Amino acid sequence: MSVRLAKRLVEPDHWTCPHGHRARPAESLTYGPEVADVCAKAGFEPDAQQQLGLDLIFAIRPDGSALSFEFCVICCRQNLKTGLFKQAALGWLFVTEQPLIVWSAHEMSTTNEARRELADLILGTPSLRKHLKAGQNDGIYDANGEERIELASGQRLLFKARTVSGGRGLAAPKLILDEAFALKASMLGSLLPLMTAQADPQVLYGSSAGKEDSDALFDLRERGRHAMSPRLSYLEWLAPKEDCGTPDCRHPKNAVDLGLDCALDREHLVRAANPSIETGRIDIETIRALRQAMPPAEFMRESLGWWDEPITLSQVIASAVWNPLAVNEDRPAPLDEIPPTALAVDMSHDRLISIAGCWDMVDRKHIELLAVDYAAETWAAVEWLIERAKPKRIPVVIDSISPAAEMVPTLKARKVKVIVTSAVDMGKACGGLREDAVEGRLTHAAQPQLDAALAGAKKRDIRDAGMWAWDRKDQTVNISPLVAVTLARYGAVLKPKTTAEPVFR
């Protein structure tokens, strides 16, 4: 038996569409109610928010074609997005009878999960199951690269992987792009022109609030919130931004116990951002558990709907993410006598040298500058590295295009283990550092040289590989401290792990 969901609409904070602001199509001008009936028969009745989405997706023009070319829904995780898209897929298959639909998400595992859930809904509903293609697979195909649901009429719902560099294989009359936070403008640039050649094309985007590099989603937000695109329907739920009552709050997970007034613990904000609390799909206790389980920056984005600042407007790793990663009593630095897992050295344009270490710990990686600027002579830096790296076989990582690469022959001649990184290696190193920071798997020593380097650092793309690296072109900013810790962390990742317990300061 399906759960009967509350039907009171929790209105979106932003709602624009071809009908205007906060306007809904007349029932005679949308297939939304018919789609809802099909979903209800399958035991998957839309809640009020999903019904609004269906009414907009299936709104039609006088000639019967779709009113919205683009539809975008932004809401916190586990509220309504993927469910809405499954309902839309059922509508396209069994109400408007579209010949071809493509579903794609950032992770193929997410795409496959949607396929399994849709297949179960159809197989469990006799009035829908009878339309499946007859045969050994009953129209449900799960072979790698061939994932699809096929009806006897020849209609197909394909489930495809999404790549960074292009989306040409995704072109179809009806396209679902889940996890739109990972969409790249370059991919849409190759895909959307192909959509115009399709019959009655539509593309649906769904996501939680955007990450700092969600360039395509930021564009959708701008167009949607300000009704800039006449054939875009846009729905967004989020909590209003509020400051913490406690000055300089770092959002500790035990803020309530400590008597701190942290905005992340305010129930009215959680309810505002999660409409499914009202409709009964999720409960407030689940969100409170997420507050404990997630890093503060992730919780702000995924459970309150607060967007990261785009990279074009802020540093590559936002200070709101970086500053709370400084060591403290709960997450101390390793003892001075504990050697780092890896070392790295970099040199600025004016030949100031930065040396960093990374400790690979049980729950995180700790990065720290060990010598900065004052090791300005190459020979002194070489001797410093030999003294510390050689006895314990600690790898020293150096970027191949860095001025510090001139140290490589001497270090190797003195039997130091040296790792020289390529452009692709640097891309992996930079992406890995930012990912660890965002996920809270990193600590640092709150050193001003490193903070300044991060504040001024910019990105550069690495060819068409979808990677990026720190941009060395700007000679007004010394990013060598940042490059050094980035490479040290990369060296620690490459080094085989030991079972030794870390010792903290």
Q: For 455-471, b where at least 16 C-beta lie within 10 A, e where not — what string? A: eebeeeebeeeebbbbe
Contacts (Cβ under 8 Å, ≥6 apart) of 55 = 24, 25, 30, 32, 33
Across the chain, what does the average pLDDT equal? 88
Both 221 and 125 in a single domain? yes
In tens, the pLDDT along 169-207 reads: 677 889 999 989 988 776 777 677 778 778 899 999 999
Q: For residue 303, what pLDDT is reported? A: 95
What is the C-alpha separation between 201 and 195, in angstroms, rounded?
6
Asked if residue 316 is part of any domain, the answer here is yes
Both 29 and 110 in a single domain? yes
Q: For residue 312, what pLDDT is reported? A: 53
Q: Are 388 and 394 in contact (CB under 8 A)?
A: yes
> Which of 120-124, 155-159, 277-281, 420-424 is predicted least confidently?
277-281
Q: For residue 135, what pLDDT is reported? A: 82
Q: For residue 191, what pLDDT is reported? A: 78
- 453-458 own/partner pairs: CB under 8 Å, 24+ apart: 453/477, 453/478, 453/479, 453/480, 453/481, 453/482, 454/315, 454/316, 454/317, 454/322, 454/482, 455/315, 455/319, 456/315, 457/315, 457/316, 457/482, 458/316
The pLDDT of residue 165 is above 50: no
Last residue of a domain, one of 323, 352, 369: 323
Both 376 and 291 in a single domain? no
Domain count, the chain: 3
Asked if residue 144 is part of any domain, the answer here is yes
- 8-state DSSP, 87: H
Both 411 and 280 in a single domain? no
Residue 343: CB atoms within 10 Å: 29
Four-residue CA torsion sign, 313, 318, 320, 321? positive
Query: Token pair 């590989």 is at which residue?
Result: 465
The pLDDT of residue 421 is above 80: yes
Q: Are 312 and 212 in contact (CB under 8 A)?
A: no
Last residue of a domain, one of 201, 217, 236: 236
Q: For 282-297, b where at least 16 C-beta lie within 10 A, e where not — what string? A: beeeebeebbeebbbb
Whats the size of the chain, residue-wise?
Answer: 505
Q: For residue 431, what pLDDT is reported? A: 92
In tens, the pLDDT along 439-477 reads: 899 999 999 889 888 888 888 887 655 688 998 877 777
Half-sphere exposure of 222 (CA within 13 A, CB side): 7
Both 482 and 333 in a single domain? yes
CA 25 to chain centre: 33
Both 201 and 281 in a single domain? no
Both 229 and 92 in a single domain? yes
Asked if residue 7 is part of any domain, the answer here is no
Both 435 and 381 in a single domain? yes
* CATH number, domain with residue 219: 3.40.50
The pLDDT of residue 20 is above 70: yes
In tens, the pLDDT along 32-89 reads: 999 999 999 999 999 999 999 999 999 999 999 999 999 999 999 889 999 999 999 9
* CATH number, domain with residue 485: 3.30.420.240
Last residue of a domain, one of 218, 236, 254: 236
The pLDDT of residue 105 is above 70: yes
Both 53 and 135 in a single domain? yes
In tens, the pLDDT along 309-359 reads: 886 545 688 877 898 999 988 888 888 889 999 999 999 888 889 999 999
Both 154 and 119 in a single domain? yes
In tens, the pLDDT along 253-266 reads: 898 989 899 999 99
Q: Which domain holds residue 405?
A: 328-494
Query: Token pair 């050994």 is at which residue?
Result: 136
Both 270 and 211 in a single domain? no
Both 272 and 341 in a single domain? no
